[in-house]
């Protein structure tokens, strides 16, 4: 009887030890959450999937919600990474001193319109007029006699802030329909005659079309030299210096293999390709 009990206890210890080892192994069962910028979301999702495939047992949970959400969530310590199109200092209520900035890519942002509109170019003055409500019909800018339907990103969106800052010379867009999701913006523009909005290059597809501004095309090459000024750094913020899986994933994001093979393929610009820089002071002070 005593021998039987000893064997049962030994079996139990072995089982518990095995489960503990599986749960605490250095490459098993680890996960982190990255939340925020929808402009950066496709890149983080793709790189996260690649990382998880190459590192069995690890999971990168990626969610959108916009730059404001990403910065507030990382400040509160509710997530591991806060994705942002803006410097943390640009957002009210964010204590940037608590956060560490990791610039991982650059994204261009472009005006987009419904494909039915025979418009290829707008001057910057016309673009400002459209988004501030001074121009309300496409006929006023050489298009058809059709009402202009402005679709905005929601307040708190880094894409919206970047567009207003660099496309509208810092002016606020008019009160209009707002959407949290870039994918929904694209869908509405594609299905609404007369619609115009803006989005990261990475979201543009054949269902909509881009518009030149002052005869300059929205291309990565023009972003790299700042000929196309409507762009932003893509930031991955951490609360303090990253550790563990968070550090490993950010290091992976900045690795040559990802920067050279994945970033550009998805419509972003690797940091190494930028021939210009933009400081926080540049973002806060605009020459009109």
**What residue spans define the domains of the chain?**
30-107+230-284, 108-224
Token representation of residue 2: 């005593």
pLDDT of residue 19: 35
User: Quick one: pLDDT band at residue 288, thresholds 50, 70, 90?
Assistant: very low
Mean pLDDT across 26-48: 87
- pLDDT at residue 2 greater than cutoff 80: no
Q: Does 3.40.50.720 match the CATH number of domain 30-107+230-284?
A: no
pLDDT of residue 14: 39
Mean pLDDT across 209-224: 97
| Alpha carbon separation from 30 to 127, 148, 239, 275 (Å, rounded) | 47, 49, 18, 38
Q: Residues 109-128: pLDDT tens digits?
A: 999 999 999 999 999 999 99
User: Quick one: pLDDT band at residue 149, thresholds 50, 70, 90?
Assistant: very high
Query: Residue 192: which region, alpha, beta or left (left: phi > 0; alpha: psi -120 to 50)?
Result: beta
Helices 67-76 and 158-166: crossing angle, nearest 10°? 130
Q: Residues 222-266: pLDDT tens digits?
A: 999 999 999 999 999 999 999 999 999 999 999 999 999 999 999
Token representation of residue 153: 């990103």
User: Quick one: pLDDT band at residue 21, thresholds 50, 70, 90?
Assistant: very low
pLDDT of residue 74: 98
82 strand-pairing partners? 35, 237
Start-to-end CA distance of the chain, whole Å, equals 90
pLDDT of residue 181: 86
Mean pLDDT across 167-195: 94
- pLDDT at residue 22 greater than cutoff 90: no
Token representation of residue 275: 């021939």
pTM: 0.83
pLDDT of residue 155: 85
pLDDT of residue 29: 57
User: Quick one: pLDDT band at residue 107, thresholds 50, 70, 90?
Assistant: very high
Average pLDDT across the chain, whole number: 90
pLDDT of residue 1: 52
- pLDDT at residue 3 greater than cutoff 80: no
pLDDT of residue 210: 98
DSSP states along 55-100: STTEEEEEEEE-HHHHHHHHHHTSSSEEEESS-GGGSTT--GGGEE
Mean pLDDT across 168-192: 94
> Domain 108-224 belongs to what topology?
D-Maltodextrin-Binding Protein; domain 2 (3.40.190)
Pairing of strands 121-122, 231-239: unpaired
| Alpha carbon separation from 131 to 141, 161, 163 (Å, rounded) | 13, 13, 10
């Amino acid at each position: 009887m005593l021998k039987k009990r000893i064997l049962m206890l030994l079996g139990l210890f072995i089982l518990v030890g095995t489960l503990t080892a599986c749960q605490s192994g250095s490459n098993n069962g680890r996960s982190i959450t990255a939340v925020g910028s929808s402009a950066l979301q496709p890149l983080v999702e793709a790189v996260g999937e690649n990382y998880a495939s190459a590192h069995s047992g690890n999971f990168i949970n990626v969610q959108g919600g916009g730059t404001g959400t990403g910065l507030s969530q990382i400040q509160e310590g509710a997530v591991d990474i806060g994705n942002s199109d803006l410097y943390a200092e640009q957002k009210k209520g964010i204590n940037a001193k608590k956060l560490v900035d990791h610039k991982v890519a650059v994204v261009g942002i472009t005006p987009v319109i419904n494909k039915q509109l025979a418009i290829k170019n707008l001057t910057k003055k016309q673009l400002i007029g459209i988004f501030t409500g001074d121009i309300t019909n496409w006929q006023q800018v050489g298009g058809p006699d059709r009402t202009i339907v402005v679709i905005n990103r929601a307040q708190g969106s880094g894409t919206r802030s970047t567009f207003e800052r660099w496309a509208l010379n810092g002016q606020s867009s008019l009160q209009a329909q707002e959407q949290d999701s870039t994918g929904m913006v694209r869908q509405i523009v594609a299905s609404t005659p007369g619609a115009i909005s803006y989005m990261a290059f990475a979201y543009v597809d054949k269902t909509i079309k881009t518009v030149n501004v002052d005869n300059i095309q929205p291309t990565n090459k023009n972003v790299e030299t700042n000929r196309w000024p409507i762009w932003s750094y893509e930031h991955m913020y951490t609360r303090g210096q990253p550790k563990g899986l968070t550090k490993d994933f950010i290091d992976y994001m900045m690795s040559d293999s990802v920067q050279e093979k994945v970033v550009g393929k998805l419509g972003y610009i690797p940091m190494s390709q930028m021939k210009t820089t933009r400081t926080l002071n540049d973002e806060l002070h605009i020459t009109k």
